[in-house]
Each structure stands twice: as structure tokens, then as C-alpha cells.
Structure 1
């Protein structure tokens, strides 16, 4: 069974979509190279197909005026790690290791980040041809202590390598080692080196769980004062974790979406969050995802529930095209209750798994009523996600943003998009 296409999308099945249909001209000068000095002063485009005004302009500091008092905001509390490691060989040549995700048998990213002394990690290797054999080493002094990090190639895995890292002092965790020896990775489209200010501005103010190689950028607009303002109105907040992988920047090169491999990302969802979400859904109150990562986490939870209710294999893994083939007749509360009950029966307080879900035109949102998100690149899966929410109106929304001085991509302005009903 497949999902019915969105009312405002073509009748083409999502697998048959061509990424060429999701293109627009993005001038270089519209890409925000730096954030605004005050995060919540960023512009906010508001789109609601049920409002005669359709597109409005506000700023993030006015977000509370746009949301009902009983709305639930869902944030992604992942934290960007210093995933770029630059080693210098004795010959003077540089080798860059870009840490992608844990290798080996670690159950989740948090466990891998807390490893001490040694860890296995999948990495992209810049200058791999210069690194034939032997270990890469770096040494630095920190607070009067000598820090040494060593990297050894284990095996090639597709376009990446499995690397064994080891270090002294062994009392430090891998997360601490990255903080001491690595560099924060900025999106490639910024075309600039990481600067000291980025260490703060490329993190959300609520970042907590080490593991991402890119920020959940919709959250970069929030400040403590804005969060307080929302709380004062009675708007609730809740947190999930989805660790953003390098695949978020992977361009779609396939002619048809069925030939594009969606990247897997680790997600962690606390039991108490599931209970909060269930109450929100049961009372038919608005659920707003802050960012595409929060949205993908929310929607994945629904399909996990469907898989549990229909006795599917691997119920806590959502593959790329599964949502378009699974039964479509389960309610949100049924699905959430199934996931919650399964966790309780297993004696677990947190759901830890991966998702490959792709949200494209033809997909109907099952959990979220809308999204707060930045403006995304042409030819990207993130733009497909936007089109799934608002249909063909994405073109008018993006054209409006381009002609009204909105800033684009990670450090740019944002939008509040309510799904078409």
C-alpha cells in the first residue's frame, strides 16, 4: 500500500520524482556567510495556506504571536562536534580526517563519544593517496599537559575509511579529544574557514548531546529571552536528539529519487517525550517541529508505531521508502502508544535507533502540523521535504524570500510553514 500524493503535488510517485524539478536560482550574495549579531532578530517568513494573507514577514522575536498557547515546540538538542582533524606528516603534507559516525559495535553515538583511550570511527580522508601506511600523529600542550592523538587505517568502507583512534591521556573521552584537537566543520557552501566566533554561533543555545557534524540550523535563531517569551505564553518545549550527518550536504545526483541513497542518522527519544507527544496528539493540540531533523525524528516515530502494530520486521528502523509502502490507516495516538508501550515493556527509558526516512512530495505529515526551518539549497532532499509540506507553493515562498531580502542557508533567516489542510 502506498501513500496518497499530497493534494498540491503531482501524481508522480515520490520514487519517480526528478530532482531537476526542485531547482531555483540562488545568487552567491544571498547566502548568509555570518549570522546576525542577535539571533532572534532574524527575519521570519510565515506561510499558512488557510490564511488569506498566506505570506507574512515577522522576526523570530515575534514568534510567540504566531503560535497558539497550547502548542508544543520540538527541538533537536544535538551538539556539533569538532569533527575535522588535520594531521601533518613528516613530509609536511596534510591529511584531513572528517569523522562521520562510529564504527564497530557501539549502540549509539553517545556511547562512542564517551570511549576512553581508543575508539573506531568512520571517516572521510582528505589526501588519502598521501597516506599509504603507518599511523598519523599529532601532539599538543594543554594546561601543562601533553595530549597525543594517533590515527590508524583499518579498512576502506565505500568512500570512507574505518579509523582506529588512540590517545593519551587515556582518561579523556573521545568527545574531549575532538574538542582539544579538532576543528568545527562549517557547511561547504559557506566557502570560508572556521573562525573563533563560529564555536558559539554554530551551536544552538540548548545544544547538549555531542554527535553532529552539522548544526540543526533552525534552532540557531533561538535565544534565552525568546525561549522565555514562549514559555510565558504557555507554549511548551520538548527535546529529541537526531545527530546530523555529513549526508545532509550530499547533493542528489540521481536522475530519479529512487536511485538516491538517503543517509542514516542516529536518533534518541526519551520515554517522557513520547508521553508528552501522546498527550499533545490525544488532545489535538498543535505540534511544531523546529527544523528538518526534528521533523524527520517525529515522523519516524509514527512509522515505528505502524510497524509495531502490523508486526513488521525491525520495527525501530525506518528505511528510506518504507513510509510509502506501509499501511496508512493507523492513527497517530495508536502509533505513539505502540512505541511507548514497547519501550516500557523492554524496561527502557530512551529509544535509540537510526532513521533513513525521506520526506518528499506525496508524503503526508502524520505527527507535525508545521515546521520552523531555514531556506535550503536547490536540488536537495531538504527542499523536497519543504515541498512535501506546502506543495508547489514552495516556489512562490522561495521567490518571495529572494525578492524580499531574506538571507539563505545555515546562517540565514527562516520560515514558519504550516502544512496544507
Structure 2
């Protein structure tokens, strides 16, 4: 399968630079796979397309302000982007990180602030290193000095709005360096409305690593690999999924991270790392419907959506989204694939 077959034309001005406020006013394209129909709506009306007893599954991972700026002992400036915990269960001090600048080697101490320094422990590959945060409370220090690592295609620095809107309203478990963006459309009011319609919800945790922005550099879809990411799917969530299926209701994955978590777990609780790579030809075991944003051309996220909705139908929907001036990518609009 050619990566080129997942390309589409996107005018630059359709890349959303800022979030819609309120969240639930974002546009929602509704795709029905059986009917091959496409409808236009907004997220506030999502309950109208679901049935009482359907189960929405969200990712409750919290985005950390993981971009840090510091200086080497020589005075040279260094940018450090924490990408994921080495082992969150053991400690919250050791991370994998991308470090920009020359002369980065083991033992180097990068000065970020009076109460935060970064020690380079070892070189992993390319610009990737294992580092240790030298601070009394690493997470508190990140909150103080770090910047939210908003996507590179926004072509701007973090602003106060990002602290609020590049985070889901239910974010709880610290560990992501990118937001599970499909969930950004869900306000407290929309969650309440869904509950009133009898639609149930549950959570998984998948810590999104910077690999989510990793470009596909191969020409064949099958040759690409995704970065491993930490996942936890609890016993409670598995029980709710089984009950939903038994009732004949739908399990609705909110975002590609949830798809990968649920398909990794199957119908058993799971905690560990997943490098599950989903592309057309994959057979879905758990997920019945998908809510997702509009993704970059030729990206692994677009491969996953095409695996679920069918390549031709999804690319047809993307063409319509461009024609209808939908907003694309992390802060953009979304689609529901039934």
C-alpha cells in the first residue's frame, strides 16, 4: 500500500491556530459507513447521533508542560522536550527527551531554574537522550518552568489559552506531551447533556508521546512503525465494554489513542506499552464507532481512520471538509464515524 495514496490537498488557512470557544461549538461531520452518507453538524448535537446505553471511551491523560529552556555550564542555550517517562511507576524524574544544540553528552547538567536542573544520563539515538530532572518535586517544577508543547504546525509559541484549551476538561493522569485532541471538543456542559441522553462514559489512559507528530518517512504503509506508548485499561472499563456489547449498544472510541488502547487490550484489563500500528486491512475487535479530528496527510493517524472508515470514503469526507471550510488538525473540527 502506497503512502502517497493517503495524500490530500489542504489550504494552509484551514489549519486551526486557536481553539473554538466554547469547545462544543466545533463543527462535527457525521459519517455513516453503511449508508455512505455525510452530514454536517456541531459537537453540541452529538447525543442525537448516539443511542441510550452507548458507551463513550475517553483518554484521561494530562498534557504536561514538557518543553523546557535552559543553559549549559558554558552559557549556551538548550531546548529540551520531554517525550515520555522512562518508567513512571518507579519514578517521575527520569524521562526520554529530545535535546537541541551541540555538545550534548552524558553527564551534562542543564540549568533551567534555581530549583530545576536536567542531567543527561545517556544518549539513545539521534537527538534523543535519557535525562533526569533534578528537583524536589519534578512535576511541580515542570508546571513552573515548562511550556505546553503545542504542535509544531501551529507555528507559534505557547499562549495562556493553550494551558486551558490544549487540555481536556477531565485530564487527570499526568504523562502526555500532546493532547488526545478528539476529546478537546467535550465541555462540562456537553458531558452533562450526554448523561441526560442516557449515554455512558468511561476512561482509559494512554500517554501520548511526541511520536504522534513523527512523519512517515517510508513509501509503503506497511513499513512504518509507531513509537511505543504507555497504556492502562482498567477492569472497570473492560466490564462496561462487555456490558455495552451484551446490550447491543456501541462502544465509541473518542480519538485514535483510545482506539489503540482498546484494540491492544481486547477484552482483558491491560497495563503496559503498546506499539500497535493500525492501517487498512486491520480487523477491529472492540471499537464500533469513532470520534476523531482531521489529521495530517500521509500520517499514521490518517491510516488508522481509513482502516476504520474505508480509505475512499474517508478521503471523500476530507475533500468535502476542505470544500466546506472545516478547521483541521489539533485545534480543528472533528468527525463521528458510525
User: When the two structures are superposed, what TM-score results if normalisation uses the length of structure 1?
Assistant: 0.77
Deviation at 1:50, TM superposition (A): 2.4
Separation in 2 of the partners of 1:215 and 1:229?
Answer: 23
2:97 is equivalent to residue 123 of structure 1: yes
Q: Distance in 2 between matches of 1:91 and 1:46?
A: 56
Does 2:3 align with 1:19?
A: yes
RMSD over aligned Cα atoms = 1.6
Take 1:359 and 1:133, find their aligned partners in 2: how far apart are those partners?
39
1:129 shift after superposition? 3.4
Q: Distance in 2 between matches of 1:403 and 1:252?
A: 26
Q: Which residue of structure 2 aligns with residue 63 of structure 1?
A: 46
**1:215 aligns to 2:179 (yes or no):** yes
Structure 2 Cα separation of the partners of residues 276 and 297 of structure 1: 15
Structure 1, unpaired ranges of 5+: 1-16, 114-118, 140-146, 303-335, 341-350
Shift in CA distance, 283/180, structure 1 to aligned 2, threshold 3 Å: same
Tell me which residue corresponds to 2:32. 48
TM-aligned CA deviation for residue 26 of structure 1: 1.4
Q: 1:134 to 1:55 in 2, by over 3 A?
A: closer
SS at match of 2:132: strand
Conserved? CA contact 2:99–2:129, under 8 Å = yes
d(CA) in 2 for partners of 1:110, 1:72: 29
Partner of 1:381: 300
Question: How far apart are the structure 1 equivalents of 2:198 and 2:106?
Answer: 59
Query: Would you say the 8 A contact 1:95–1:131 is kept in 2?
Result: no
Structure 1 residue ranges, 4+ long, deviating more than 6 angstroms after superposition? 130-133
Cα deviation, residue 176, structure 1 = 1.6
Tell me which of 73, 78, 91 is aligned to 1:112: 91
**1:32 maps to which of 16, 38, 42:** 16
1:166 maps to what in 2?
Answer: 134
For 1:257-314, what per-residue CA distance to the aligned partner results, in whole angstroms no more than 9, with x for missing partners?
3332211010012211111111112222111000000111111112xxxxxxxxxxxx
- The answer to whether the Cα contact below 8 Å between 2:85 and 2:175 also exists between their aligned partners in 1 is no
One of 223, 228, 232 as aligned partner of 2:196: 232
Asked if the contact 2:106–2:122 (Cα under 8 Å) also holds between the matched residues in 1, the reply is no
**Correspondence for 1:156:** 123
Please state whether the residue corresponding to 1:227 is helix, strand or coil. Answer: helix
Q: Distance in 1 between matches of 2:99 and 2:223?
A: 25
Distance 1:272 1:130 in 2: 45
Query: Who is 1:96 aligned against?
Result: 79
Question: Which TM-score applies when normalising by structure 2?
Answer: 0.95
- Residue of structure 1 equivalent to 2:291: 372
- Relative to structure 1, the CA distance from residue 251 to residue 134 in structure 2 (aligned partners, 3 Å threshold; closer, same or farther) is closer
Unmatched 5+ residue regions in structure 2? none
Distance in 2 separating the partners of 1:27 and 1:182: 32
Q: How much does 1:90 deviate?
A: 5.6
Query: Deviation at 1:396?
Result: 0.6
Residues 1-400 of structure 1: pairs in structure 2 closer than 5 A: 17-51=1-35, 54-89=37-72, 92-103=75-86, 106=87, 109=88, 111-113=90-92, 119-129=93-103, 134-139=108-113, 147-159=114-126, 160-167=128-135, 170=136, 172=137, 174-302=138-266, 336=267, 339=268, 351-391=270-310, 392-400=312-320
Deviations 1:307-347 (A, max 9, x none): xxxxxxxxxxxxxxxxxxxxxxxxxxxxx2xx25xxxxxxx
2:94–2:130 CA contact under 8 A, matched in 1: yes
The CA deviation at 1:410 is: 0.3
| Cα contact 1:110–1:209 (8 A) shared by 2 | no
Q: Compute the displacement of 1:368 (Å).
A: 0.8
Are the counterparts in 2 of residues 242 and 267 from structure 1 also a CA contact under 8 Å? yes
Rg (Cα) greater in structure: 1
